[in-house]
Amino acid sequence: MPVITSPQEFNADDLYVDLRPALGSRLYLKCEGFNFAGSIKLKAAAAMVEQAEESGVLGPDSILVESSSGNLGVALSLIAADKGYRFLCVTDSRCNLTTRQMMRALGAEVVTVEQPYTGTGFLAARLEHVRGLCASDTRYVWLNQYTNAFNWIAHQRTTAPAIDRQFPDLDVLFVGAGTTGTLMGCARYFKESGRPVTVVAVDTVGSVTFGGPARTRMIPGLGAGVRPALLDLSYVDDVVMVPETETVRTCHRLASTGFLFGGSTGTVVAGAERWLAAHRPDSETTAVAISPDLGERYLDTLYQGSWIKETYGDAMTASSVDADLNPIGGRP
């Protein structure tokens, strides 16, 4: 039985879901949402804060500030509360209400950017706001998850080795691309270890990370309006782009079998299914996908019929999602 004194000390790193009974997919899903922050972002947040403390950047009077679409903001709120730091999260209007409420409950200040920048979207607007805060007061310390090497180092040291231990015969790894911290950490680990693992990045349509045109994206988490500085394409073997409507459908398919996951997980699973069908339709491939978070924070969006209809139109109401994929309420 683990006994902890700080919330960031606990993370379930060895839980996988075999998706064959639920979806018929030859895919194991590594669940990263079972910690007090509720997402994989706790690993990066803890590593970045620890490095800032060790280097002397963070001091007693420091105010942590970060741009986040949600999950990293919650993780930093939790760590800041534990360590006694003030924390200000700059997010945008796509951030789920529940996520903003969680950050405030943990003592963080939350600033919501309401208007995106033309061409570069909400991310560029958030980053500009953070830069303005840092210029206005030297007490602000910006960890900058978009350029901080400890974002990916955290996963090179923890997430990838955990997968390697559990699946020594791993063939394909699917990782969602947001800041690309998880992607780069895992890809570097397997490439530099010499393991013949195919690393497939999964991104959302409308993201510019892999060179696609920028489009409006409504589900926070994966994707970016500004190409992540951490990304090194030499470590990535392939890329799958998933439209948000497919993310919604996949989340509802999983929920219909009792697994309530977040939007990033739905995107990664949808991309993995598409890639396996195209590239490994008949082989006995050992494939793992990383699930960044659970679904409770998406109850008022992805799992809310009125939000789905307003966002994607009549063809994507919650009822039509369920009826198209699972007409009698059983498993597909």
Map out the domains of the chain as residue ranges: 7-34+149-322, 41-142
Q: What is the pLDDT along the chain (332 residues), one digit of tens a residue?
A: 789 999 999 999 899 999 999 899 889 999 999 999 999 999 999 999 999 999 999 999 999 999 998 899 999 999 999 999 999 999 988 888 999 999 999 999 999 988 888 777 888 899 999 999 999 999 999 999 999 999 999 999 999 999 999 999 999 999 999 999 999 999 999 999 999 999 999 999 999 999 999 898 989 889 888 899 999 999 999 999 999 999 999 999 999 999 999 999 999 999 999 999 999 998 789 999 999 999 999 999 999 999 999 999 876 754 455 444 433 333 44
Residue with tokens 């900058």: 144
Say if residue 136 is exposed, middle or buried (CB neighbours under 10 Å; 0-12, 13-18, 19+): exposed
* Topology (CATH level 3) of domain 41-142: Rossmann fold (3.40.50)
Q: Which CATH class is domain 7-34+149-322?
A: alpha beta
Interaxial angle between packed helices 159-166 and 181-193, expressed in degrees from 0 to 180 and rounded to the nearest 10: 50
pTM: 0.92
Task: Please check whether the two domains, 7-34+149-322 and 41-142, share a CATH topology.
Answer: yes
Question: How many angstroms separate the CA atoms of 38 and 102, rounded?
Answer: 11
